[in-house]
Amino acid sequence: MGRRLMNVSTDLKIPDVFMGLLEPYRYKAYEGGRGSAKSMSFAKVLLATGTWTPLRILCAREVQKSITESVKQLLDDEIEAMGFTDYYTSTKTEIRGINGTKFLFHGLGTLTVDQIKSFQGLDRVWIEEAQTVSAHSLEILIPTIREEGSELWFSWNPRNATDAVDQLFNGAVTPPNTIHKKVGWRDNPWFPEVLKSELEFDREHKPQRFNHIWEGGYEPQVVGAIWSMEAINRNRRREIPELERIVISVDPAVSDEPNSDENGIGCVGIGTDKRGYVLDDWSQVGTPKQWSTKAVALYDKWQADAIVIEVNQGGDMCRHTLETARPGIPIIEVRASRGKHVRAEPISSLYERDLISHVGSHPELEEQMCKMTAGGYAGDGSPDRVDWMVWGFTELFRDMLEVPRPKKQGRRRPVVGWQG
């Protein structure tokens, strides 16, 4: 059973396996599946220890496009559940304690080296979903956190043996002064009843999903996948190079119901080095007005040269929707005449030839890519994120791939780099 820790300021309830979080280790690494109470236990201990002594705490992940993608809401919920509402004040972007404790929230993948180095003076760093953090982020972050008694906390559900966090803690040599635990739902005496039926369903009907999601095993590798995480990680970059052409790519969904496929929306560029770069993935479920507004906003963010859009489903309505959002915007219409997997194979070959890099991490896109096989998509739903990426790079590498040029609509903007 779990253990209750009594303190003058809190009654801290966590499973026994997380007791090591209260010990003075430099590295605290907890990996495992759903229902193990990893995130909740991390939040409880950090909030409690933040009342015992003033701490500067960074809650980080590789990709955080907004504060809603951070653990802030979880911490806010635990502040209320633990009776700390008089102790902590939660603003839009921070949480502050009356003793000077402060929680900060950042994505690591979009920060420059100098910005990461500005984190000097932190007492704790909690990296949530650490399976997505890049080796480059860790190489810069770890030596930056060097206050006396400072600690680095990692929580993750294992994804791949080649992921940086797995190499760090499951490699041949573990960092000194480390507590590393593999945890699971069996360790949680308060495992929610509502999750038990989902667990049993996956155990009986989806054994590979059960092993990964609930038991904390690595993601099952799709047999015959035309992309691999090894190739993606091998060419991943942090810095954006000088770009000579940038396009926004859109693959609109058929409908905009809550359970509809996503509208694939993203940005790719080709550098002066003639290599391709994945820059942004803004895919979402939404109405035509919502996806067109998002596409135009992404176009403005990157000062792109054109928007590439697949028109199979909407025909002229796709162009009309974009021109309603921004009259005269340069549009390149493309129409699919072959299956998704057939269109994807020439682009996957560019990855194997080390001609394409991802700037930062794009976990949802990368997951779809690694489920695309020569026979079709092996995942659930539609690979809309892969679709937009394939269309974008097909346009940028058109001459190399010997693809006929499609019809272009709208005014032509001067070609500009990502910096304007």
What is the DSSP secondary-structure string of 26-84?
A: SEEEEEE-TTS-HHHHHHHHHHHHHHHS--EEEEEES--SSGGGSSHHHHHHHHHHTT-
Most confident of 94-98, 143-147, 191-195, 368-372: 94-98
Average pLDDT over residues 250-277: 88
Which comes out higher in pLDDT, residue 151 or 404?
Answer: 151
Fold of 229-409: Nucleotidyltransferase; domain 5 (3.30.420)
pLDDT computed for residue 314 by the predictor: 58
Distances (CA, A) of 386 to 144, 249, 282, 370, 376: 36, 11, 12, 10, 12
Average pLDDT over residues 87-94: 96
Alpha helices, DSSP H, located in 260-332: 288-302, 316-325
Structure tokens at 33: 């599946």
- pLDDT digits 0-9 by tens, 108-138: 887 777 777 777 789 999 999 999 998 888 9
Most confident of 68-82, 219-233, 304-318: 68-82
Phi, psi of 309 (to 5 degrees): -135, 135
Contact 270, 277 (CB under 8 A): yes
pLDDT computed for residue 407 by the predictor: 54
SS3 10: strand
Look at residue 241 and tell me whether its pLDDT is greater than 70.
yes
CA distance 182 to 171: 14
Distances (CA, A) of 342 to 262, 347, 349, 374, 376: 21, 10, 12, 7, 8
What single-letter amino acid sits at 106?
A: H
Distances (CA, A) of 76 to 47, 59, 248: 10, 13, 36
Query: pLDDT band for position 244 (50/70/90)?
Result: very high
Closest to 155 measured CA to CA, from 79, 78, 59, 247: 59
Choosing among 3.40.50.1820, 3.40.50.720, 3.10.450.200, 3.40.50.300, the CATH entry for 3-187 is 3.40.50.300
Look at residue 151 and tell me whether its pLDDT is greater than 60.
yes
CA distance 410 to 341: 30
CA 66 to chain centre: 12
Query: pLDDT band for position 413 (50/70/90)?
Result: very low
Q: Are strands 356-358 and 276-281 parallel, antiparallel or unpaired?
A: parallel
pLDDT computed for residue 79 by the predictor: 96
Structure tokens at 331: 């549009």
Query: pLDDT band for position 226 (50/70/90)?
Result: very high
Look at residue 2 and tell me whether its pLDDT is greater than 60.
no
Say which DSSP state 187 is in: G
Q: Residue ranges per domain, the chain?
A: 3-187, 229-409
- Helices 38-52 and 72-81, axial angle in degrees (round to 10): 70
Average pLDDT over residues 167-194: 93
Look at residue 12 and tell me whether its pLDDT is greater than 70.
yes
Which comes out higher in pLDDT, residue 286 or 29?
Answer: 29
- pLDDT digits 0-9 by tens, 47-63: 999 999 999 999 999 98
- pLDDT digits 0-9 by tens, 387-411: 999 999 999 998 888 766 655 555 4
SS3 318: helix
pLDDT computed for residue 253 by the predictor: 85
Look at residue 415 and tell me whether its pLDDT is greater than 50.
no
Look at residue 267 and tell me whether its pLDDT is greater than 90.
yes
pLDDT computed for residue 414 by the predictor: 36
Phi, psi of 150 (to 5 degrees): -70, 155
Structure tokens at 414: 């001067």
Distances (CA, A) of 330 to 249, 307, 326, 327, 353: 12, 6, 9, 9, 31
pLDDT computed for residue 315 by the predictor: 57
Query: pLDDT band for position 214 (50/70/90)?
Result: very high
pLDDT computed for residue 419 by the predictor: 32
**Comparing 8-17, 105-114, 197-206, 239-248, which segment has the lowest mean pLDDT?**
8-17
The mean of the pLDDT values for the chain is 88
If you search the block for the tokens 């309830």, which residue do you land on?
13
Say which DSSP state 307 is in: E
What single-letter amino acid sits at 361?
A: S
Residue 151 β-bridge partners: 124
Listed as own residue / partner, the contacts of 67-76 with beta carbons closer than 8 Å and 24 or more positions apart are 67/92, 67/93, 67/105, 69/107, 70/105, 70/128, 71/39, 71/43, 71/105, 71/126, 71/128, 72/103, 72/105, 74/39, 74/40, 74/43, 75/43, 75/46, 75/47, 75/103
CA distance 95 to 102: 6
Taking residue 161's Cβ as centre, other Cβ atoms within 10 Å add up to 12
pLDDT computed for residue 404 by the predictor: 63
Closest to 283 measured CA to CA, from 301, 308, 264, 297: 264
Q: Is the pTM of this model over 0.85?
A: no
pLDDT computed for residue 22 by the predictor: 95
Residue 310 β-bridge partners: 334
Average pLDDT over residues 26-32: 97
Within 8 A by CB and 6+ apart from 118, the residues are none
